[in-house]
Chain A
């Protein structure tokens, strides 16, 4: 059973076709990275999968047509970590992570013991237990990133969507977060779809890469097949060298 399947998915925003007939399938436990230059449609594709933007074509989530899945049930299957999460003022880390339980709690009901246990587990797994009572807006960028990730974990969804999970982090924190995601993927058998800016990291962590340009899928496969000098030059307009899977920019010859 595929975890996620896109069949000719197109999204138009303000009259412009941002995602164009994108098809792909993701197996359970797989990590798929969406790469491509700015404006390629990576984030929009993620938003379509999360049901946050109208699309043509079909998306299947764990065998079911996503359009036929109620919003709340969809949130039990898909957790999204946005690129720049909106940080609410004056709430604690624990209160924030507890929001991840929303799709599991009735409209007027309150969280029960299992919800609080899920939050404790998520805080534990991201080493946030000591921060539980701290105010979220007093945390550093990397700690907030982990808090948002904990919220997504508390959501207990088999599919995890990450929009540029490392964009605001330094090199060490980038590696840390991606290692955490990889460990969680193994522990909880999560399926991960992430957009990635850093091609080297995308190649190191994802099982498979999809290269988008102008909303279209232009290449897909393992890192060695997609991260080639020719493809990157063509679609990013960048002069690079690819050395042992690392994509290194070089200055164009004068």
Chain B
């Protein structure tokens, strides 16, 4: 069990943050629904009761706002916990879920579909699949390449392989994009991340992967603490380092690929959220991983609220919001924590 004083303080605080984000997510929008009605309407749907909202308002809540907010929460939680896990297994503070080429691979897959697949109806179904497959292919290629350098080369070889694969796939993606200039707009909007969704389909796509990955990663929280002392010392403590690294990388990558497939490339969440938690609540992965899921979820829901409102009725790409508002916030956290530490 998590028994530290930090857990007693930070877990409830994170849950309050998430609840506030979710509530803001469903309340903010052109149509006013009211906080009490939103909560009662949600429970009505969950338990098959009568909703207090009118038909149109109920549809706005259940078919538009809630799916989008839940999708943002799942994607945010996934990117944050995947980032924290990558930072753990690679002992690299700059590692993020895209480190092994997931973003570049997904980008290539999506670009191929948008450029070459025919009718838009097929494209819409095909896009998440192609992005998911592209991410998978890229990461597997990076892993095979990294391991071919020899098991003793360790995590550094894997990171370099990821950089190599990322460059190669990005080059391919740019090339395809240049050949099909008419699709640039659509590809670009996907690359910057988007949570535009109607209904629960996208939530259904990403949730199974995300749930399994969260469970696997959080189950490895103690192992990630051990890996922090280095491969050799971890081995001397009886840990099969290569197996732990593979399991964590697979879980984090599959979940990232699923998140990217439905939401495009949303940058910085996998770095800013875990590091903010580290600076505030300490570096032990026992607390860091569960907190990353909760805070990452809340963070992306808030970012989406900003994306929807700043230039309403137009939407900002959410990837722009996470970076534009995330960077200064992180700068403040970095400065204040250095002063108090």
On whether the two chains bind one another, the answer is: yes
Give the CA-CA distance A75 to B283 in the complex, in Å. Answer: 25
State the Cβ distance, B163 to closest chain A Cβ, in Å: 23
> Is there contact, CB below 8 Å, between B240 and A71?
yes
Give the CA-CA distance A72 to B236 in the complex, in Å. Answer: 9
- Nearest 5 Cβ contacts at the A-B interface: A90-B283, A75-B238, A88-B228, A103-B238, A72-B238
24 cross-chain CB contacts under 8 A: A47-B232, A51-B235, A71-B238, A71-B239, A72-B238, A73-B238, A74-B238, A75-B237, A75-B238, A78-B236, A79-B236, A82-B232, A85-B233, A88-B229, A89-B283, A92-B282, A95-B225, A99-B229, A99-B237, A102-B222, A102-B226, A103-B237, A110-B1, A135-B282
**Further 4 A-B residue pairs, CB within 8 A, beyond A71-B238, A89-B278:** A50-B236, A80-B233, A88-B229, A102-B222
> Is there contact, CB below 8 Å, between A108 and B237?
no
A91 and B284 contact, Cβ closer than 8 Å, known pairs A99-B225, A99-B226, A103-B238: yes
A76 within 8 A of B: yes
A203 within 8 A of B: no
Give the CA-CA distance A155 to B233 in the complex, in Å. Answer: 12
List B contacts of A135 (CB < 8 A).
Answer: 282
A105 within 8 A of B: yes
B199 within 8 A of A: no
Name the interface residues of B230-286: CB closer than 8 Å to any CB of A. 230, 232-233, 235-240, 278, 282-284
List B contacts of A95 (CB < 8 A).
Answer: 225, 284
Give the CA-CA distance A96 to B225 in the complex, in Å. Answer: 9
A52 and B284 contact, Cβ closer than 8 Å, known pairs A88-B229, A95-B225, A108-B219: no
A86 and B230 contact, Cβ closer than 8 Å, known pairs A91-B225, A95-B225, A110-B222: yes
List A contacts of B229 (CB < 8 A).
Answer: 85-86, 88, 96, 99
* Interface flags, A43-63, vs B, CB<8A=1, else 0: 000010011100000000000
State the Cβ distance, B333 to closest chain A Cβ, in Å: 14
Name the interface residues of B6-25: CB closer than 8 Å to any CB of A. none
Give the CA-CA distance A52 to B226 in the complex, in Å. Answer: 16
List B contacts of A72 (CB < 8 A).
Answer: 238-239
Partner of A82, one of B223, B233, B238, B284: B233
> Is there contact, CB below 8 Å, between A86 and B237?
no
A100 within 8 A of B: yes
> Is there contact, CB below 8 Å, between A80 and B282?
no
> Is there contact, CB below 8 Å, between B284 and A75?
no
Residue in chain B with minimal CB distance to A100: B237
Partner of B238, one of A76, A88, A91, A92: A76
State the Cβ distance, B192 to closest chain A Cβ, in Å: 32
List B contacts of A105 (CB < 8 A).
Answer: 222
List A contacts of B228 (CB < 8 A).
Answer: 86, 88-89, 91
Name the interface residues of B279-295: CB closer than 8 Å to any CB of A. 282-284
Residue in chain A with minimal CB distance to B6: A92
State the Cβ distance, B3 to closest chain A Cβ, in Å: 9
List A contacts of B222 (CB < 8 A).
Answer: 102, 105, 110
> Is there contact, CB below 8 Å, between A91 and B282?
yes
Residue in chain A with minimal CB distance to B239: A102
State the Cβ distance, B68 to closest chain A Cβ, in Å: 34
List B contacts of A52 (CB < 8 A).
Answer: 232, 235-236
Give the CA-CA distance A76 to B237 in the complex, in Å. Answer: 8
State the Cβ distance, A162 to closest chain B Cβ, in Å: 12
A75 and B282 contact, Cβ closer than 8 Å, known pairs A86-B229, A88-B229, A110-B222: no
List A contacts of B278 (CB < 8 A).
Answer: 89-90
* Interface flags, B182-193, vs A, CB<8A=1, else 0: 000000000000
Give the CA-CA distance A135 to B337 in the complex, in Å. Answer: 14
Chain A CB count within 10 A is highest, among B219, B236, B282, B284, for B236
List B contacts of A99 (CB < 8 A).
Answer: 225-226, 229, 237
A91 and B283 contact, Cβ closer than 8 Å, known pairs A102-B226, A105-B222: yes
> Is there contact, CB below 8 Å, between B237 and A102?
yes
> Is there contact, CB below 8 Å, between A155 and B237?
yes
Give the CA-CA distance A102 to B234 in the complex, in Å. Answer: 9
State the Cβ distance, B249 to closest chain A Cβ, in Å: 17
Give the CA-CA distance A99 to B235 in the complex, in Å. Answer: 12
Give the CA-CA distance A52 to B1 in the complex, in Å. Answer: 31
Give the CA-CA distance A95 to B4 in the complex, in Å. Answer: 10
List A contacts of B223 (CB < 8 A).
Answer: 107
Give the CA-CA distance A8 to B53 in the complex, in Å. Answer: 82
State the Cβ distance, A194 to closest chain B Cβ, in Å: 15
State the Cβ distance, B326 to closest chain A Cβ, in Å: 21
List A contacts of B232 (CB < 8 A).
Answer: 47, 52, 82
State the Cβ distance, A80 to closest chain B Cβ, in Å: 4
State the Cβ distance, A77 to closest chain B Cβ, in Å: 10
Residue in chain A with minimal CB distance to B2: A110
* Interface flags, A115-142, vs B, CB<8A=1, else 0: 0000000000000000000010000000
Residue in chain A with minimal CB distance to B1: A110
Chain A CB count within 10 A is highest, among B229, B235, B239, for B229
List B contacts of A47 (CB < 8 A).
Answer: 232
List B contacts of A110 (CB < 8 A).
Answer: 1, 222
List A contacts of B240 (CB < 8 A).
Answer: 71
List A contacts of B230 (CB < 8 A).
Answer: 86
State the Cβ distance, B229 to closest chain A Cβ, in Å: 5
List A contacts of B284 (CB < 8 A).
Answer: 90-92, 95
Residue in chain A with minimal CB distance to B235: A52
